[in-house]
Chain A
Amino acid sequence: MDQSPETFRDLVECHQARVFSIAFRILGESGAAEEVAQDVFLELHRALPRLESEEHVTAWLRRVACHRATDALRRRAARGDAAAEEYQDGMALRPVVREFIPVMNRVEQLLLTLPPAQRTVMLLRYQEDLEPEDIALELKMPLATVRSYLQRGVKMLRAKAERTLKEYSRG
């Protein structure tokens, strides 16, 4: 595809919401998500000559955004950042995550409590509206694993959502 600034700007404007949302919902933090999203688009610019169509670009962006956001999460975990370990904490939200609450909706907050791989699968299913088979292809993951992540993810989120609702009505 064409690498001209005009074409590239159109691509950025067309896909920025998708890429930023993936990064934001995997990382749970706006600043880091923007950094990852910018890197993804700069990488896209270098990759454009190899990409043949809009569909190819969309799939490429989706896949690379997931991978780069997960990499950033791993780096953060390696630095000992508490937010990266949030998913292990189950229902209780740690102070770091509470900082995100003003800019995240309820489902986004609950999503952050899932393990990163499961979070990514849930995002591709419910944000990107991909079928499990496509998710398995995009993430190079066995279909059975994708299905299992989805089933367990929905179940966990449902349980957490119900508990949150009860706590909210009690409080």
Chain B
Amino acid sequence: MVEPMDEFEKELREQLLARSAPEGFADRVMAQMPERRPSRGWWMGFGLPMWRWAVAVLLVAGMVLGGLERDRQQRMAGERAKQQVLLALRITGSTLREVDSKVNAGGEQQMLSQKGAGRAILEKGEQE
């Protein structure tokens, strides 16, 4: 239940009507507003203008391509080294086979001459 206002309350209400804000108040509020920027494209998403994005993209592309090229060169050098090692192994293998056959041939001859000498000694003993 709302009680009716008496004379004093009516006077209170009259005296407490909203007073005007100081001159230029709205202008001062508007001046403090955060500045509105012109509409931004998707490339401005991180606060960078278009040309900076282009430079950044070029730099990243250069780094990626450089990395790929270095990788390719390393793989080629590895391949060359592998071929050289294989060639060396082949040479070594054939050399070893050659030496082995020579060693084997020399051994047989020596054994035959040793056998011949032994037989001659035996025959000489029988005669005596």
What number of A-B contacts does a CB cutoff of 8 Å give? 78
Max chain A CB contacts within 10 Å: which of B20, B32, B33?
Answer: B33
A20 touching B19 by the CB < 8 A rule? yes
With A126-B9, A127-B17, A158-B8 known to touch, is A20 a contact of B36 (CB < 8 Å)? no
With A42-B32, A126-B13, A131-B2 known to touch, is A16 a contact of B8 (CB < 8 Å)? no
Interface extent on B, as a size class? 20 to 34
B16 at the interface (CB under 8 A from A): yes
Report how far A45 CA is from B13 CA in the complex, Å: 30
Closest to B34 in A: A45
With A107-B16, A154-B8 known to touch, is A38 a contact of B22 (CB < 8 Å)? no
- Which positions in A face B, CB cutoff 8 Å? 5, 8-9, 12-13, 16-21, 24-25, 30, 34, 37-38, 41-42, 45, 105-108, 111, 122-123, 126-127, 129, 131-132, 154, 157-158, 161
- Which positions in B face A, CB cutoff 8 Å? 2, 8-9, 11-13, 15-22, 25-26, 28-30, 32-33, 36
